[in-house]
Amino acid sequence: MLHGKKIIVGVTGSIAAYKAAYLVRLLVQYGAEVKVVLTKGALEFVTPLTFSTLSKNPVHSDFTENKDSGVWVNHVDMALWADMMIVAPLSANTLSKMAHGQCDSFFMAVYMSTRCPIMVAPAMDHDMFMHGATAENLQKLKSFGHTVVAPNEGELASGLIGKGRMAEPEQIVLCVRDYFGGKQPLHGKHVLVTAGPTYESIDPVRFIGNHSSGKMGFALAEELARQGARVTLVTGPVQLRAIDPMITRVDVQSADQMNSACLQVFPICDAAVMAAAVADYKPQQIADQKIKKGEQTWSLAMTKTPDIAAALGKMKQAHQRLVGFALETEHEVEHATGKMERKNMDMIVLNSLQHEGAGFGTDTNKITLIWPGNKMEEFGLKPKSAVAHDIVTAIVDLMPS
């Protein structure tokens, strides 16, 4: 998303400086080239080594690296190199300097030489943030055209509770992405994704599960986020990590829990992609104690779980889209089309188990996309990330303009 973007991260003297390390890491992960400038105040809290390691670039805090070398760091070159400068955290002191053009440091010289957009994330104690001088200074920065990423409320380093906590690095990155990525196809859309298996408890130590790894659902969540969507990923138990900060992960165990989570979030979503392998049945009763072994044979009374996709299909409003998955072993297209129609879906992804390398636990998949009206498109065997790209491209086409 930020591939090829050149970003200066200015870090000033605030305890929140430690969060700037994660911000730099995220920006680099998104493909940005990052150079870090530390103020003298920042050096009291963090070390240049942290930032040079994360940014893979030298870190500057002064005009000279070494007073005797005669070599100086050119603040103008650095400022003109940047596509954006982010000041995070922005202390009350540096805020005041920026508002008044008090150019008394390398950081300020870089800042005043920039021609690129500036984004600032203030961080200070509650009363400092509420002070009239801070409000006036922030107003001044806004009048310069700078973007202010407002601080959050919460517990502050002083122990006080209030406004002043620097926005989380993920929030700052979202603002940067919004700035550069306004043309992303799913910008402003919120998509619900289900992933992984469900575990249906039998007793305190046993459950009924399935072999779903969650890889397809997670790949979809990442691709949707990459294309600009905010994603709520409701996942059963999996050994996977969601990387993109646009993804909010909700962990559940059972079909009932997945159902509640989905019903809660779907009304505020633009689309839902149901990639989870939800158990169709659950034990009628969960035993309080571990069930002891008994007769040679044993049977368990089971009852149906809620059909989440069907419930969302019933709730679906005109602006919302619903995409499902079908894993079939026979009469594939016929069965998948039937499911799509029964559950009021706008598209169904048919997973074939007939092909080696497709299905549960693999890193590849082979799909056919089916739409109402007998329209379909078959794709070749591909890595799940590439399959996710094909599916998300089709979802983009489904969205109302």
List active site positions: 210
Q: Give whichever of 339 and 366 is closer to ligand CTP, judged by the CB atom.
A: 339
Residue reference for tokens 């009021």: 344
**Does residue 353 interact with ligand CTP by CB under 6 A?**
no
E-strand ranges in 170-275 read: 190-195, 200-203, 206-208, 230-235, 247-251, 271-274
**Cα–Cα distance, 198 to 308 (Å, whole number):** 12
Taking CB under 6 A as the criterion, the residue among 2, 309, 387, 391 binding ligand CTP is: 309
Task: Output the 3-class SS for 89-128.
Answer: EECHHHHHHHHHCCCCCHHHHHHHHCCCCEEEEECCCHHH
**Does residue 38 interact with ligand CTP by CB under 6 A?**
no
**Does residue 363 interact with ligand CTP by CB under 6 A?**
no
From the CB of 29, what's the least distance to ligand CTP, in Å? 30
Taking CB under 6 A as the criterion, the residue among 278, 322, 350, 391 binding ligand CTP is: 278
Taking CB under 6 A as the criterion, the residue among 89, 214, 324, 359 binding ligand CTP is: 324
From the CB of 348, what's the least distance to ligand CTP, in Å? 7
Contacts of 323 (CB under 8 A, 6+ apart): 271, 272, 273, 274, 345, 346, 347, 348, 349, 391, 395, 398
What is the helix (H) or strand (E) element at residue 152, kind and residue range? strand 152-155
Determine contact, residues 287/203, Cβ cutoff 8 Å.
yes
What is the helix (H) or strand (E) element at residue 153, kind and residue range? strand 152-155
Determine contact, residues 269/320, Cβ cutoff 8 Å.
yes
Look at residue 367 and give its three-state secondary structure.
Answer: strand
**Residues 333-352, interacting with ligand CTP (CB under 6 A):** 339
Q: Judged by CB under 6 A, how many residues of this single chain contact ligand CTP?
A: 15
Q: Give whichever of 341 and 377 is closer to ligand CTP, judged by the CB atom.
A: 341
**Cα–Cα distance, 358 to 383 (Å, whole number):** 9
From the CB of 87, what's the least distance to ligand CTP, in Å? 45
**Does residue 280 interact with ligand CTP by CB under 6 A?**
yes
Q: Give whichever of 121 and 326 is closer to ligand CTP, judged by the CB atom.
A: 326
What is the helix (H) or strand (E) element at residue 370, kind and residue range? strand 367-371
> If you ran DSSP here, which 8-state letter would residue 266 be given?
G
From the CB of 240, what's the least distance to ligand CTP, in Å? 17
Taking CB under 6 A as the criterion, the residue among 14, 305, 320, 385 binding ligand CTP is: 305
**Does residue 276 interact with ligand CTP by CB under 6 A?**
yes
**Does residue 220 interact with ligand CTP by CB under 6 A?**
no
From the CB of 323, what's the least distance to ligand CTP, in Å? 8
Q: Give whichever of 100 and 314 is closer to ligand CTP, judged by the CB atom.
A: 314
Footprint of ligand CTP on this chain (CB under 6 A)? 194, 255, 274, 276, 278, 280, 305, 307-309, 324-327, 339
